[in-house]
Amino acid sequence: MYLVTVNKDKCEGCGACISICPMDVFEMVDDEIEVVDVSSCKECESCVEVCPLEAIEISEL
Protein backbone atom coordinates (compact mmCIF):
# COMPACT_ATOMS: atom_id res chain seq x y z
CA MET A 1 0.00 0.00 0.00
CA TYR A 2 1.11 3.53 -0.72
CA LEU A 3 0.66 6.89 0.93
CA VAL A 4 -0.38 9.61 -1.50
CA THR A 5 -0.27 13.20 -0.29
CA VAL A 6 -1.14 16.50 -1.90
CA ASN A 7 0.71 19.50 -0.50
CA LYS A 8 -2.10 22.06 -0.13
CA ASP A 9 0.40 24.92 0.06
CA LYS A 10 1.71 24.09 -3.43
CA CYS A 11 -1.41 22.74 -5.17
CA GLU A 12 -3.42 25.23 -7.23
CA GLY A 13 -6.16 22.75 -8.15
CA CYS A 14 -5.41 22.48 -11.87
CA GLY A 15 -6.85 18.95 -11.95
CA ALA A 16 -4.07 17.40 -14.05
CA CYS A 17 -3.68 14.59 -11.51
CA ILE A 18 -7.40 13.80 -11.67
CA SER A 19 -7.30 13.60 -15.45
CA ILE A 20 -4.24 11.36 -15.68
CA CYS A 21 -4.76 8.97 -12.76
CA PRO A 22 -5.96 5.60 -14.13
CA MET A 23 -7.12 4.47 -10.67
CA ASP A 24 -9.30 7.50 -9.72
CA VAL A 25 -7.29 8.24 -6.59
CA PHE A 26 -8.08 11.98 -6.71
CA GLU A 27 -11.22 14.12 -6.78
CA MET A 28 -11.98 17.82 -6.63
CA VAL A 29 -13.67 18.56 -3.29
CA ASP A 30 -14.61 22.12 -2.39
CA ASP A 31 -12.16 23.53 -4.97
CA GLU A 32 -9.25 21.43 -3.63
CA ILE A 33 -7.66 18.23 -4.86
CA GLU A 34 -8.27 15.43 -2.37
CA VAL A 35 -6.97 11.88 -2.18
CA VAL A 36 -10.19 9.87 -2.03
CA ASP A 37 -9.12 6.30 -2.79
CA VAL A 38 -5.51 5.75 -1.72
CA SER A 39 -6.04 1.98 -1.54
CA SER A 40 -6.29 1.77 -5.34
CA CYS A 41 -2.98 3.58 -5.99
CA LYS A 42 -0.57 1.40 -7.98
CA GLU A 43 2.36 3.85 -7.69
CA CYS A 44 2.51 4.51 -11.42
CA GLU A 45 3.54 8.08 -10.50
CA SER A 46 1.74 9.59 -13.48
CA CYS A 47 0.21 12.15 -11.10
CA VAL A 48 3.64 13.09 -9.77
CA GLU A 49 5.00 13.51 -13.29
CA VAL A 50 2.09 15.62 -14.54
CA CYS A 51 1.86 17.97 -11.53
CA PRO A 52 3.40 21.29 -12.63
CA LEU A 53 4.01 22.42 -9.04
CA GLU A 54 5.42 19.16 -7.62
CA ALA A 55 2.61 19.09 -5.05
CA ILE A 56 2.07 15.31 -5.02
CA GLU A 57 4.19 12.75 -3.20
CA ILE A 58 3.88 8.98 -3.14
CA SER A 59 5.63 6.82 -0.58
CA GLU A 60 5.40 3.17 0.39
CA LEU A 61 3.89 2.37 3.77
Nearest to 43 by CA among 27, 29, 22, 14: 22
Contact 18, 27 (CB under 8 A): yes
- Per the structure, the count of domains in the chain is 1
Domain containing 17 equals 2-60
Strand partners, 35: 26
Tens-digit pLDDT string for the chain (61 aa):
899 999 999 999 999 999 999 999 999 999 999 999 999 999 999 999 999 999 999 999 8
Residue 52 buriedness (CB in 10 A; 0-12 / 13-18 / 19+): exposed
Give the CATH number of the domain where residue 21 resides: 3.30.70.20
> To 5 degrees, how large is the angle CA 1–CA 29–CA 16?
70
